[in-house]
C-alpha cells in the first residue's frame, strides 16, 4: 500500500513516543514514587495518588502522540462516556486490538485497578508505576480472581481485557478467556463493555512498533450498556453464557 500521512515522520515520531514512554516510566519510578512514599503513612492514600499519577502520565503520553500526529482518536458520546467510565466499583471490559489500548483507557479513568503481566513488575521502566499503584499481577489463576473480587468489593474499578492478550491482526473473532466472566459472577458486578476499533490496524499482536500503518491510524471508543449477569445457572455455565455475551458486544460489526 502507498505510504501516506507523512509516513516517515510518523515512524520517527513513533520511535520518539515510545522512547519518551520508557524514559518517563523510569524517571517516575526512581524520582516521583520515592517522594510519594514520604507523602503519607497511609497505604490507601499513597495507592490513590499513585494511580492518579499513572492516569496523568498516560494522558500526557496519548496527548503527545496525538500532537506529534502519530494517531487520532475519538470517543463516541464523549460526555456520557467519561461520566460512566469514572464511576466507582465498575468492572470495565474491553477488546484488545493494539498495544496501547491500556494507555488510552487508564488515561480516561482517574482511578482504576487492572491486571498486569507479571514480567512487567520486574521491568525497570514499568516496575515503579505498577508496584506503587498496586495493580494485580497475573500469576496464579485462583489468586487473581480473588484479588480482583476483593478489589471490586472495596469499591475500586477494575479494567480487564477478556482476550488476555492483544488480538492477532488476521484473527477477527478471538477466543475469550473466562477469567473476566468468573470475576463478574463471583463479585456480582455487571461488566461495562468498551468496544475499541483501530483503523488501519497497527500495533497488533505479532507486529513490532516500527511496523506502522500505511496511513495515520484512528482509534474509536464506545461504551455499551452494562451486561446483565446470567440468573439461575451454575457458575461454570454462567461464565460460558457471559463469555458469549462479551463476544457479541465487543466484536459485533
pLDDT tens-digit series, residues 84-139: 999 988 999 999 999 999 999 999 999 999 999 999 999 999 999 999 999 999 98
| CA dist., res. 214 & res. 221, Å (int) | 22
Domains and their CATH numbers in the chain: 7-250 (3.40.1130)
| CA dist., res. 169 & res. 203, Å (int) | 9
| CA dist., res. 87 & res. 34, Å (int) | 29
CA atoms within 13 A on the CB side of 76: 11
State the CB neighbour count (10 A cutoff) for residue 167. 23
The answer on pLDDT for 23 being more than 90 is yes
pLDDT, residue 85, reads 93
Task: Tell me what the mean pLDDT of segment 179-196 comes to.
Answer: 95
| CA dist., res. 9 & res. 90, Å (int) | 39
| CA dist., res. 17 & res. 115, Å (int) | 24
Say whether pTM exceeds 0.75.
Answer: yes
| CA dist., res. 185 & res. 136, Å (int) | 19
Task: Tell me what the mean pLDDT of segment 73-89 comes to.
Answer: 93
pLDDT, residue 174, reads 82
| CA dist., res. 225 & res. 223, Å (int) | 7
pLDDT, residue 169, reads 64
Average pLDDT, the chain: 93
Which residues face 160 on adjacent strands? 93
Where is 239: in which H helix or E strand? helix 235-250
pLDDT in tens, 229-238: 998 888 889 9
Is residue 216 within 8 Å of 115, Cβ to Cβ?
no
Amino acid at each position: 500500500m502507498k505510504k501516506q500521512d507523512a509516513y516517515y515522520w510518523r515512524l520517527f515520531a513513533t520511535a520518539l513516543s515510545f522512547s519518551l514512554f520508557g524514559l518517563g516510566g523510569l524517571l517516575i519510578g526512581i524520582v516521583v514514587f520515592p517522594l510519594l512514599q514520604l507523602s503519607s503513612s497511609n497505604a490507601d492514600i499513597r495507592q490513590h495518588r499513585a494511580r492518579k499519577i499513572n492516569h496523568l502520565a498516560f494522558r500526557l503520553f496519548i496527548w503527545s502522540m496525538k500532537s506529534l500526529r502519530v494517531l487520532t482518536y475519538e470517543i463516541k458520546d464523549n460526555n456520557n462516556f467519561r461520566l460512566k467510565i469514572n464511576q466507582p466499583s465498575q468492572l470495565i471490559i474491553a477488546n484488545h486490538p493494539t498495544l496501547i489500548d491500556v494507555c488510552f483507557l487508564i488515561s480516561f479513568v482517574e482511578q482504576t485497578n487492572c491486571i498486569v503481566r507479571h514480567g512487567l513488575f520486574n521491568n525497570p521502566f514499568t516496575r515503579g508505576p505498577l508496584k506503587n499503584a498496586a495493580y494485580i499481577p497475573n500469576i496464579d489463576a485462583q489468586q487473581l480472581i480473588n484479588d480482583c473480587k476483593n478489589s471490586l468489593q472495596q469499591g475500586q474499578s477494575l479494567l480487564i481485557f477478556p482476550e488476555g492478550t492483544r488480538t492477532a491482526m488476521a484473527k477477527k473473532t478471538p477466543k475469550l478467556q473466562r477469567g473476566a466472566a468468573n470475576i463478574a459472577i463471583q463479585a456480582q458486578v455487571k461488566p461495562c463493555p468498551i468496544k475499541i476499533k483501530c483503523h488501519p490496524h497497527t500495533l497488533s499482536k505479532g507486529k513490532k512498533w516500527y511496523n506502522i500503518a500505511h496511513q495515520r491510524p484512528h482509534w474509536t471508543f464506545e461504551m455499551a450498556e452494562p451486561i446483565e449477569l446470567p440468573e439461575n445457572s451454575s457458575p461454570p455455565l454462567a461464565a460460558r453464557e457471559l463469555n458469549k455475551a462479551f463476544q457479541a458486544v465487543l466484536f459485533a460489526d
